[in-house]
Amino acid sequence: VQLQAFGGGLVQAGDSLRLSCAASGGTFSSYVIGWFRQAPGKERKFLARISGGGGSTSYVDSVKGRFTISRDNAKNTVYLQMNSLKPEDTAVYYCAADQRWAIGTMQYTYWGQGTQVTVSS
């Protein structure tokens, strides 16, 4: 499966942004999709994941209540709605796919190219 993340940009603290992860190839609904981010000089970190049918989600504590992951299997797309953005949310955001219910970067097989999110104070 090929993934493409887009929707990033420059926003101010407190603003909202919705990222999209569009997939092609494979059976999209069979894949768990995860969102990750990598700030400059730091490791790539897990943020959220959603099951193939969309019925299960989980989040890292730092974004719980602010970020919402969802998917539209008819459009082969997963979304990450980000609200109340903070400067520390500045990073390159990646989506990834695997058939396992995973949170580790090494556990995801397919990756999108990343989209930059910059939050100014």
Which two tokens mark 115?
């989209």
**Predicted confidence (pLDDT) per residue in 15-71, tens digit:** 999 999 999 988 999 999 999 999 999 999 999 999 999 999 999 999 999 999 999
Q: How far apart are CA 55 and CA 5, in angstroms?
A: 22
- Gap between the Cα atoms of 35 and 23, Å rounded: 13
Span 2-17, pLDDT tens digits: 999 999 999 999 999 9
How many residues make up the chain in this entry?
Answer: 121
Q: Please report the pLDDT score of residue 22 as a whole number.
A: 98
Order of strands, sheet of 2-6, starting from the edge strand that comes earlier in the sequence: 2-6, 17-24, 77-82, 67-72
- pLDDT, tens only, 79-90: 999 999 999 999
